[in-house]
Each structure stands twice: as C-alpha cells, then as structure tokens.
Amino acid sequence: MEILLTGATGFVGTAVLARLRTMPDVTRVRVLSRGPDRAPRGVDVVRGDLAETRTIVGAAEGADVVIHAAGYVGNDPRMATSVNDAGTRALAGECTRSGARLIAVSTTAVYGPGPHRLAREGEVAMHPVSAASVSRSAGEAHVLSAGGTVVRAALTYGGGDRWFIPTALAGVRALGGWVGGGNARLSTVHVSSLAAQIVLLATDSGELPDAIFHAADPEPATFREMLTSVARRLGLDLPKVDIPVDDPRLAEVPPQLLQRAFVEHTYDGELLRRRTGWRGHRDRDLRLSRADLDWYASVTR
C-alpha cells in the first residue's frame, strides 16, 4: 500500500508518519512538501504547497490512500481559506482524478459553542467560530463530496502540542484563577492515539459506510482536573481562585477559549474505536510520557 501524507512535519502529521513506519502493509510513504529541506528524512517527497493549488496537480498519482493532516490553525482568514478550504478542495480533486482514497484530519471545534454532551457523529450541527474552524468545515465539505472520510479530533495533546495545554496553562496563570471554576468536562485524545486510529482507518481495506468519525478517548475529565494534573507533574503552581463567567477581566478573552473552561464539550468516539479496534485511553488522567512532560516543560514558562 502506498500512502501520501500531507502535514508530515506538523503536530498530528509527525505522529501519523511515525505510526505509518511501523505498518508492514505500508510499502511506501510519500509526503507533500514545499521542498526537500522542509520534509522529514527517509521519505519520498512530492513537491507541492496547499496554499498554491497549481503546485499539487498530480500529487496523488500512484497513491492508494491520501492522509490529509495539514492545516492552518492561526487567525489569518485569508491564509485559513487558502490552505484549509481551497487547498483541501484541490487535494480532493486530485484524489478523485487518481482514484486515491482520502482521509482528512479535522477537529471537533467545527461544532462551535457548546454545551455538547458525549455527542455522536451527526447529532450536533456545525457552528464554527474561528477563521480556522470555518475554513476547516469548508474543507470537510470538499472531502465528503469526493467520497472521502473525515476524522474530527477532540482536544489533542502530547509532544508537539503548542495550542491546547500550553495555552490553557498560560491563560489560567495570567487570569489568576479558574473561569467558572474550571468545571467543564472535555474530551481529549493523545496525539499517538489519534495517529494510530487514522493509520488503522487508512489501512482498512474494507468499505467504510461512515464518512465522519470522532477521535476521542472514552473518559472525559474537567478542564481543572487536566491542567492541575499536568501542572503537578511539571512542578508548576496554579491559582486556587474561581472567577465568575461575567467577570469584566474576561472581556478581551476570545469566547471560544473561555468556553473550554466552563462549558462541556464531550464527544463519543466509540464509532471510530469500534471500526479500528483501538481500545483508547480509559483513565480520566491525561496519559503523559516522559517525552510529553519534557515537551510541555520546554514550552511552558
């Protein structure tokens, strides 16, 4: 089986590539990259840039499966549209022309504001808020129109995470307390678990009757429980104070970030676990390796 991977140097893509290298049925991995100097070592490179769609013409030729793990997560609407929407549309078109199966990594953030309580696929309408989420939902539509599969990942953590745990820790420390007590239950998934399920889905030779899957471990935990656990293992002190949700200090904080602290966002990942046979992490405590802790120590000040 030959697989083309986009986003191979990103947070999720790095873990996916590591997993692909362990799969005996995967005979060749190619990565879409803007140049050999930007690509991981030991893989074949297909030159192309999702932000410049003309450069990816023919990229999927010869691939049995394309795993689309690239994505723009910043706040620039133009870049988000260019990469997540137009770039995904072009990639989906290439898969249609070549006959390659397409699996795209997305996020449960496309559902927008909660509360969401162990929502299954198809139970919650999409109401994306950020530029990245709006463009990702548009990209999903292109994947689905091409007959592809979308994996919507819950809050993803582990080595390489720059957004979830580091941003949350910095926010709690900067505010000096926990918005709404930090009692929101949240679904999470370790990046290695997410990668394993994506790769198992990609190497599944059977028909996939479902087009959208959630990737989430079985046991949600509260925002406060998760951050307190990480901080304890990093030797960090966190405040004990609770902050009311209508506190004036919160006026400048993006609502989508505040919601993670006090509004439940949990998703049922059983459909994907059942399809792939992946058991998942069943402890409420975050599964953090020594490498994960070293990473968080390096990016947390």
* Per-residue tens of pLDDT for the chain, all 301 residues: 999 999 999 999 999 999 999 999 999 999 999 877 777 877 889 999 999 999 999 999 999 999 999 999 988 999 999 999 999 999 999 999 999 999 999 999 999 999 999 999 999 999 999 999 999 999 999 999 999 999 999 999 999 999 999 999 999 999 999 999 999 999 999 999 999 999 999 999 888 777 999 999 999 999 999 999 999 999 999 999 999 999 998 988 888 778 889 999 999 999 999 999 998 777 777 889 999 999 999 998 7
Number of domains making up the chain: 1
In a domain, 140, yes or no: yes
Residue 187 has, within 13 A of its CA and on its CB side, a CA count of 26
* Cis peptide, bond prior to residue 115, ω within 30 of zero: yes
For β-strands 44-47 and 28-33, DSSP reports them as parallel
Q: Is 252 within a domain?
A: no
Question: Does residue 231 lie in a domain region?
Answer: no
Single-letter amino acid code for the residue at 65: V
Residue 278 in domain: yes
Question: Is residue 116 a part of any domain in this protein?
Answer: yes
Indicate whether 115 belongs to any domain.
yes
Render the burial of 16-46: b for 16+ CB within 10 Å, e for the rest. bbebbeeeeebeebbbbbeeeeebbeebebb
Residue 128's CATH number? 3.40.50.720
**242: in domain:** no
Indicate the SS3 state at residue 290.
helix
**For residue 235, how many other CB atoms are within 10 A of its CB?**
7
**Does the residue 258 lie in any domain?**
no
Range of the domain at 69: 2-162+188-216+267-282
What is the rounded CA–CA span in Å between residue 228 and residue 224?
A: 6
d(CA 201, CA 126) in angstroms, rounded, equals 24
- Strand 65-68 with 2-6, pairing: parallel
